[in-house]
């Protein structure tokens, strides 16, 4: 099994907005698979929803984007860039995700130019799709 650098070594995201624990598979610049274990003490659960904690769907989309960003930024030619959302299409939420669940997140990057790109991703729990979406992103220079 190949060990990949910890997400915080590749991504610019930091707690509490880093949603990827580990990357399991990587094809640099093309695809990645990662995992996010929901422990239950995350900042959003107390308010979403009291008595029935549920992972917000928009955060699943963000986690998908982060795995895509990992694949993208693992390419040395793009490592100095910052991928920003340019759009989100066809987002579908198929099941509730609760404390104790572990999301497996898979992203395939598609068409890319020097300044923008697209990808598709899914987040699943035990093989059952929880979220799927299409991502569009733009690449900008990171702040110095």
Q: 62: which residues sit within 8 A by CB, 6+ positions away?
A: 17, 19
Burial of 95 (0-12, 13-18, 19+ CB in 10 A): middle
CB 60 within 8 A of CB 68: no
CB burial class (10 A; 0-12, 13-18, 19+) of residue 128? exposed
Rounded distance between C-alpha atoms, residue 79 and residue 126, angstroms? 32
Burial of 50 (0-12, 13-18, 19+ CB in 10 A): exposed
Q: Which positions are annotated as active-site residues?
A: 48
Tokens of 64: 């998908």
């Amino acid at each position: 099994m190949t060990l990949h650098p910890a997400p915080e070594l590749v991504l610019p995201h930091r707690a509490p907005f880093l949603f990827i624990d580990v990357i399991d598979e990587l094809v640099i610049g093309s695809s990645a698979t990662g995992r996010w274990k929901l422990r239950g003490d995350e900042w959003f659960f107390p308010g979403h929803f009291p008595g029935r904690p549920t992972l917000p769907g928009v955060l699943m989309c963000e986690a998908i984007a982060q795995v895509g960003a990992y694949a993208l930024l693992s390419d040395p030619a793009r490592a100095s860039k910052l991928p920003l959302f340019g759009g989100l299409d066809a987002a579908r939420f198929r099941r509730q995700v609760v404390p104790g669940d572990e999301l497996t997140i898979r992203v395939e990057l598609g068409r890319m130019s020097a300044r923008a790109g697209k990808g598709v991703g899914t987040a699943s729990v035990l093989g059952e799709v929880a979220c799927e979406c299409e991502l569009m992103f733009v690449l900008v220079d990171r702040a110095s």
